[in-house]
């Protein structure tokens, strides 16, 4: 493979390099290498391996479900365009398994886990909009759908000390200077792409970009602030479908808040790029105008950009 393609160091520390940008992780334990002499895996296992490879290469397929779909197809297309090589070959070249063992800790199981009401005014009464269950929390940590975790672990009770199988995804990127990194969001493809000062793709992810009532504001904007674990100032006047009995309210932070774990504020008033409490909907359903990512993709994007970053929204 070319130097622009996937480069893998065979050890418990794995290094992927896209366009010369290295991103290391430390695996929890050594995992088995792939072998060209192995029998072909089942179709579902093949798709899981594809989604894991894309996630590790920073071409996010969104929520990993082992089934694929439009988000995975877009990630494959973007990967192949950026690297100049077939995604299938990159999967075959992986020196790590698509899943790895993870032992549930007491801290994991402690939560807190809280039922989250649908009504905005009821949400504002809570102290935190936490995960609703351990399975939901673990699924987000490993960029997976809760149903995939259950399929991978059909007999699991999801309790402290239990060893489960999880997608072998990449750790969140360390905070970078963000110098020269730009953001491009495409309404047509429902994708967000980060490029460095040389024009190389350093992150790609699916997004939801708005609806006919709340269209994406085409044009050029600037990042004015990056807020992690944000509170949310709910103003029903800004929502065409708000309950008329609602009043302005401050909603507490948490992964199940309306904007998830990150708010990236833009120079357009009341507009931002943010996470979501519903990762399965990203790339598939409309939003109230803002650009919505999964929480893990929003965290990754926030780590790679800086205040003042240029943002372009296109049709």
pLDDT tens digits along 54-96: 999 999 999 999 999 999 999 999 999 999 999 999 999 999 9
Place of tokens 């990512």: 293
- Residue 231 burial by CB count (10 A; 0-12/13-18/19+): exposed, middle or buried? middle
- Do 21 and 199 contact (CB within 8 A), yes or no? no
- Do 263 and 230 contact (CB within 8 A), yes or no? yes
**In the structure encoding, which two tokens stand for residue 298, read together?**
């929003």
Please give the sequence-ordered ranges of beta strands (E in DSSP) within 140-240, or none if there are none: 163-167, 182-186, 191-195, 201-206, 219-228, 232-234
Residue-wise pLDDT tens digits, 156-210: 999 999 999 999 998 888 878 888 999 999 999 999 999 999 999 999 999 999 7
Asked if CATH classification 1.10.3470.10 holds for the domain at 182-314, the reply, yes or no, is no
Place of tokens 């110098």: 179
**Plot region of 37 (φ>0 → left; ψ -120 to 50 → alpha; else → beta):** alpha
User: pLDDT at residue 15 above 90?
Assistant: no
The CA distance from 182 to 156, in Å, is 43
The CA distance from 24 to 28, in Å, is 13
Tell me what pLDDT residue 288 has.
60
Domain boundaries, the chain: 13-90, 100-167, 182-314
Nearest-Å Rg of the Cα atoms of the chain is 20
Tell me what pLDDT residue 289 has.
62
Reported as a pLDDT band with limits 50, 70 and 90, residue 17 is: very low
User: pLDDT at residue 27 above 90?
Assistant: no
Tell me what pLDDT residue 127 has.
95
SS3 248: coil
Please give the sequence-ordered ranges of beta strands (E in DSSP) within 237-297, or none if there are none: 249-251, 262-266, 272-274, 291-292
Tell me what pLDDT residue 35 has.
33
Tell me what pLDDT residue 236 has.
82
Tell me what pLDDT residue 71 has.
97
User: pLDDT at residue 10 above 60?
Assistant: no
Alpha helices in the chain (DSSP H): 43-56, 70-83, 87-92, 106-110, 120-123, 134-141, 146-152, 295-304
Lowest mean pLDDT of 48-57, 101-110, 214-223, 237-246, name the range. Answer: 237-246
Residue-wise pLDDT tens digits, 106-137: 999 999 999 999 999 999 999 999 999 999 99
């Amino acid at each position: 493979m070319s130097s622009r393609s996937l480069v893998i160091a065979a050890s418990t520390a794995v290094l992927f390099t896209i366009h010369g940008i290295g991103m290391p992780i430390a695996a929890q334990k050594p995992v088995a290498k792939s072998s060209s002499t192995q029998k072909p895996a089942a179709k579902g296992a093949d798709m899981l391996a594809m989604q894991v490879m894309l996630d590790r290469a920073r071409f996010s397929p969104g929520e990993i479900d082992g089934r694929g779909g439009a988000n995975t197809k877009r990630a494959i297309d973007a990967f192949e365009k950026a690297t100049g090589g077939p995604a299938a070959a990159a999967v075959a070249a992986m020196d790590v398994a698509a899943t790895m063992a993870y032992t549930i800790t007491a801290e994991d199981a402690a939560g807190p886990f809280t039922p989250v009401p649908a009504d905005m005014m009821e949400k504002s009464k809570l102290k935190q909009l936490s995960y609703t269950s351990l399975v939901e929390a673990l699924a987000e940590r490993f960029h997976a759908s809760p149903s995939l975790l259950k399929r991978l672990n059909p007999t699991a009770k999801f309790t402290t000390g239990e060893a489960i199988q999880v997608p072998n995804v990449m750790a969140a990127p360390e905070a970078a200077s963000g110098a020269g990194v730009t953001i491009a969001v495409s309404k047509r493809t429902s994708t967000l792409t980060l490029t460095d000062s040389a024009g190389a793709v350093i992150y790609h992810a699916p997004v939801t970009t708005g609806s006919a009532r709340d269209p994406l504001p085409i044009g050029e904007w600037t990042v004015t602030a990056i807020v992690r674990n944000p509170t949310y100032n709910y103003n029903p006047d800004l929502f065409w479908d708000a309950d008329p009995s609602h009043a302005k309210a401050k909603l507490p932070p948490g992964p199940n808040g309306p904007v998830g774990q990150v708010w990236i504020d833009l120079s357009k008033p009341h507009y931002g790029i943010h996470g979501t409490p519903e990762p399965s909907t990203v790339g598939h359903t409309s939003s109230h105008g803002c650009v919505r990512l999964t929480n893990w993709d929003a965290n990754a994007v926030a780590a790679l950009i800086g205040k003042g970053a240029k943002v372009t929204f296109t049709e």
